[in-house]
Amino acid sequence: MSISHEVRAVIRAHGDVQRAGYRFVVQDLARRMGVKGCVRNLPDGSVEIVAEASEETLGRFVEAVKLTEPPIDVVRLDVAYGEATGEYEHFSLVPGDLAEELVEGFGTGLKYINLSREEARQGFQRVEKSIISTREDLKGSIVDMHKDLKGSIVDMHKDLKGSIVDMHKDLKEGVTAMHGDMNKNFVEMAERYDAVSSELVRTREELTRAVDRLSALVEEFVKRRKRKS
């Protein structure tokens, strides 16, 4: 069975790496990946990482420590490779003096507090934008609803007006037709009355002539009786 060859990498991380909790993150990564070595702050503001592992593991570790997660921001890594010495039994964080570590701790805490405040501010801004957007959407919906309601009322008014006009026309036509029928009936009745009246007049004249003839006959009959007696 072949034994994997271990190598050493001396890494210098530049950027926002001190007073940001970077060393603790590097330590956690190294222990999870089985990397041995140490990490320490340097006076120039960079962080030095000494790491020993197999070439494959070390390559993944170098990529993993290129962190850009606020408040950590690694802008550059300087890496020098060499032979592993085997001097490390595990991975450790090398602290500075007490004053330095106190400043490191306060600085890290302040950055996380500021980050939380910024996230909260952005969150409030998103909520505010959401409220404004919702208000605008609601306003638009109300305006649209008002337009639709106004349009519906106008259409209903037009339909009602049209219905009334049609009903008026139908009623007018019905009355006109009825008036025409009544006039026609009255004309027919008048014509029939005239015909009946003419017939009555003619009958009365004939009756008058018959009465006159009867009277003449009666007178003639009376005269004859007188002459005989």
CATH number at 86 reads 3.30.70.100
Q: What is the pLDDT of residues 67-115, one digit of tens each?
A: 999 999 999 999 999 999 999 999 999 998 887 788 777 778 877 887 7
Q: Pull the structure tokens for residue 121.
A: 């501010």
47 in Cβ contact with 93 (< 8 Å): no
Residue 91 inside a domain? The answer is yes
Identify the domain containing residue 41 by its residue range: 6-95
Q: What is the pLDDT of residues 8-65, one digit of tens each?
A: 999 999 999 999 999 999 999 999 999 999 999 999 999 999 999 999 999 999 999 9
Residue 43 inside a domain? The answer is yes
Residue 135 inside a domain? The answer is no
Residue 151 inside a domain? The answer is no
Task: Tell me the pLDDT band of 136, cut-offs 50, 70 and 90.
Answer: confident
Task: Tell me the pLDDT band of 171, cut-offs 50, 70 and 90.
Answer: very low
Q: Which residue has the higher pLDDT, 32 or 190?
A: 32
Residue 77 inside a domain? The answer is yes
Which residues in the chain belong to E strands, given as ranges? 6-16, 36-41, 47-54, 73-83, 91-93
Q: How many domains does the chain have?
A: 1
What span, in angstroms and rounded, lies between the C-alpha atoms of 149 and 145?
Answer: 6
Residue 118 inside a domain? The answer is no
Q: Which residue has the higher pLDDT, 217 or 139?
A: 217
Which residues are tagged catalytic?
A: 23, 41
DSSP 19-34: TTTHHHHHHHHHHHHT
φ, ψ of residue 161 to 5 degrees: the values are -65, -45
Residue 85 inside a domain? The answer is yes
Residue 79 inside a domain? The answer is yes
